[in-house]
Amino acid sequence: MLINKLLPILVFFAAGYGLKRGGVFKKQDGALFLRAVLYLCIPAVGFATFSRMEMGIERLYPVITAFFVIFGNFFLTRMYFKKLGIPPRQYTVYMLATIVLNTSLMLPFAQAKWGDEGAGMVLLFDICHVTLVFTFTYWVAMRYGNERGGKVPFSKILRLPPLWGIFIGLAVNLLKVPVPAFIYEITEIATKGLILLMMTALGIFYELKIRHWRLVAGALLQRSLGGFLLGWLITWILGVQGVERQIILLISAAPVGFNTLVLSDLEDLDRDLAAEMVTSATLIAVIVLPIVLLII
C-alpha cells in the first residue's frame, strides 16, 4: 500500500527533528546528510533511472515545464511586488522563494508513489531547474538584492554530481552500453538511502519561527499555487496526459527550495525571512504531500 511507503518519509522527518531537539544532532549536522544525498543517492537514482528509461520526445515535457514555471513566477512577481515598496533585501528573498523549488523533497515522494518513473520525471524537471538556479536565479539574487550585476558561476553546474549521474545514465542508454548487474545493486542500495538521509536532514534543519507572516504566506502561495497553475497551462498546451501530467503538476507545485536560503546567505539578503519561508514550506509539504498522493 502507498501509505506504507509514505509513513517512513514522515517518520524520518520527525526523527531528525526529535534527535536535534534532544541534542543528538546539531543543525550543521544536517549538511552532512544532504552531502551524502547530493554525492551518493541522487547520482545513483539518476544513473539507474536514465540508463534504463525509454527515450522519446515526451521526456522533454518536464524540462520545458520547469523553464516556464520558473520564468512565469519571476515575471508575475516583477509585475506587482516591487511596487509595494518592500526593501530590496526582502523583495529579492520573496522573488527567490517563488522561483526556487524544493525538487529534492519531491524526489522521495515521487519515488514512493510512482517508482523509477516518478523519480525520473523529477530529475528531468531538475535538469532545467538546477541549471537555472546556478545561472538565472543566482543572477536574480545578485542583481536585485544589491542593485548590481554579477558573474554567473557556470563551473558550479559542471561539478554537480546529480547532473553527472543523469548524463552518464543517458549516455549508457543511448549508446546501448551493457551494465553489469552489480552496478544496479549498488544504485538500489543508494536509492533506498535517499528517503532516510533526505528526510532526516530536513527534520534537522526544520525550525518554526515566523515573524513575517504576510510575506511568507504570499511567497508560499505563489510558489505552489502559481507553479501548479503555470504547470497546468504548459502541460495543457503540450498535450501531456495521464500519470505523466500528474507527476509534472506535482513537481510544479513543489515548496520553496533550500537554495533560497543558500543564495540569500551568499548575497547578504534577509536570511531570517528566507529561513522562515523554507522551513514553513517544508513543514506544510511534509503534511500535505502524503494526503495529496493518497487522493490522486
Please check the confidence at residue 149 and state whether its pLDDT lies above 60: no
Q: Is 101 domain-assigned?
A: yes
- Give the span between the Cα atoms of 110 and 116, in whole angstroms: 8
Q: Is 293 domain-assigned?
A: no
Report pLDDT for 119: 81
Q: In the structure, what pLDDT confidence band is assigned to residue 241 with cuts at 50, 70 and 90?
A: confident
- Give the span between the Cα atoms of 52 and 55, in whole angstroms: 9
Report pLDDT for 227: 93
How do residues 244-265 score in pLDDT, each as one tens digit? 888 899 999 999 987 787 777 7
- Give the span between the Cα atoms of 147 and 290, in whole angstroms: 41
Decide: 280 and 210 in contact? Cβ < 8 Å: yes
Decide: 255 and 228 in contact? Cβ < 8 Å: no
Report pLDDT for 277: 87
Q: Is 292 domain-assigned?
A: no
For cell 515575471, name the residue. Answer: 75
Number of domains observed in the structure of the chain: 1
Range among 79-83, 145-149, 170-174, 196-200 with highest mean pLDDT value = 170-174
Q: Is 296 domain-assigned?
A: no
Q: Provide the greatest CA pair distance for the chain.
A: 59
Phi, psi of 256 (to 5 degrees): -60, 135
Q: In the structure, what pLDDT confidence band is assigned to residue 202 with cuts at 50, 70 and 90?
A: confident
- Give the span between the Cα atoms of 252 and 235, in whole angstroms: 11
Output the average pLDDT for the chain: 82
Q: In the structure, what pLDDT confidence band is assigned to residue 121 with cuts at 50, 70 and 90?
A: confident
Q: Is 295 domain-assigned?
A: no
Please check the confidence at residue 3 and state whether its pLDDT lies above 70: no
Report pLDDT for 114: 85
Phi, psi of 101 (to 5 degrees): -100, 150
pTM of the model: 0.74
- Give the span between the Cα atoms of 70 and 26, in whole angstroms: 33
Q: Is 13 domain-assigned?
A: yes
Q: In the structure, what pLDDT confidence band is assigned to residue 156 with cuts at 50, 70 and 90?
A: low
Q: Is 166 domain-assigned?
A: yes
Q: In the structure, what pLDDT confidence band is assigned to residue 229 with cuts at 50, 70 and 90?
A: very high
Q: In the structure, what pLDDT confidence band is assigned to residue 150 with cuts at 50, 70 and 90?
A: low
The CATH code of the domain that includes 267 is: 1.20.1530.20
Q: Which residues contact residue 272 at a Cβ distance below 8 angstroms, ignoring those fewer than 6 apart?
A: 211
Range of the domain at 43: 2-287
- Give the span between the Cα atoms of 97 and 119, in whole angstroms: 23
Please check the confidence at residue 72 and state whether its pLDDT lies above 70: yes
Mean pLDDT of 119-130: 82
Q: Is 294 domain-assigned?
A: no
Mean pLDDT of 147-154: 55
Please check the confidence at residue 1 and state whether its pLDDT lies above 60: no
